[in-house]
Structure 1
Amino acid sequence: MVKFMLKCFVLVSILLFGVLIGMQQANQGMLKMKGYNDPELSGAFSVENEQTGELEASILGSTVTSQDLQKKQEQLEQIEAFNFFSQIGKKFAGVVSDGASSLMTYLSNLINGILE
């Protein structure tokens, strides 16, 4: 299961990276076709050095900094996520497990009673 999830994650990452590269190539093609540099046409992604020495990334026009990522991580840690379907699945799995266990116990007692 872990190998499958790892393969899926790698495949999705590669595909996402390919989409970003394709968007960048399309932007460059539009600039070449237009013949002049239009400031409204920004690239799909760009990385720039700030004066403070930090890197600033821009993906699809929105800037991403390390402070933004830290704030989002803190927000995710503070939120106690409750997944309704996950809780229902856990309860259903417990009921099925208990039912299968009691059925096996009943059948083993029945077989032992017949054999004695």
Structure 2
Amino acid sequence: MGRFLFKSLLMVIFLAVGVLIGMNRANQGMNDMRGYTDSSFQTPVHIQTTDEGSFDAAVLGNEISSFNMNEKKEKLEEVKSFNFFSEIGKLLADLISSIAQAIINFFAGLF
């Protein structure tokens, strides 16, 4: 199930990037057909490099902010969220593992 969700999410991201690239190419094609640039037609994806070496990006006029993974991890640790289904899954996995281990030990003791 997890692999399916991962593959599906990866495919959605890949297709969304393809749509953005297609929009950018269509904008360039419109400019090439007219033969001049019009300020009313803006590029859908705008990427600019800052002096510090980081990138500023805007998609359809909305700024995209990059985030630091360490800051995100610290923020998640502060929330200390409890996932009930994850804990139930861990308990069930431990229970099944201990039952299987007991059965294997029982049959190993017979021989």
Q: Is the 8 A contact 1:31 1:38 kept in 2?
A: no
TM (normalized to structure 1)? 0.54
Alignment-mate amino acid for residue 75 of structure 2? Q
Alignment-mate amino acid for residue 22 of structure 1? G
User: Is there any run of 5+ residues in structure 2 with no aligned partner, and where?
Assistant: none
User: Is there any run of 5+ residues in structure 1 with no aligned partner, and where?
Assistant: none
Task: Give the corresponding residue for 1:37.
Answer: 38
CA distance in 2, matches of 1:76, 1:60: 29
Give me the identity figure in percent.
33
CA-to-aligned-CA distance 1:58-102 (integer Å, 9 cap, x gap): 12322135xx523x7514422135433332222111111001011
**Could you tell me which of 75, 79, 83 is aligned with 1:78?**
75
CA-to-aligned-CA distance 1:2-48 (integer Å, 9 cap, x gap): xx9xxx6xx75654542321121234456678997363x54331123
Query: What is the SS of the residue equivalent to 1:47?
Result: strand
Q: Which of the two has higher C-alpha Rg?
A: 1
Matches within 5 A, 1:19-34: 19-29=19-29
TM (normalized to structure 2)? 0.56
CA distance in 1, matches of 2:73, 2:62: 20
Decide whether aligned partners of structure 1 residues 108 and 73 sit closer, same or farther in structure 2, where only a CA change above 3 A counts. closer
Query: What is the SS of the residue equivalent to 2:67?
Result: helix
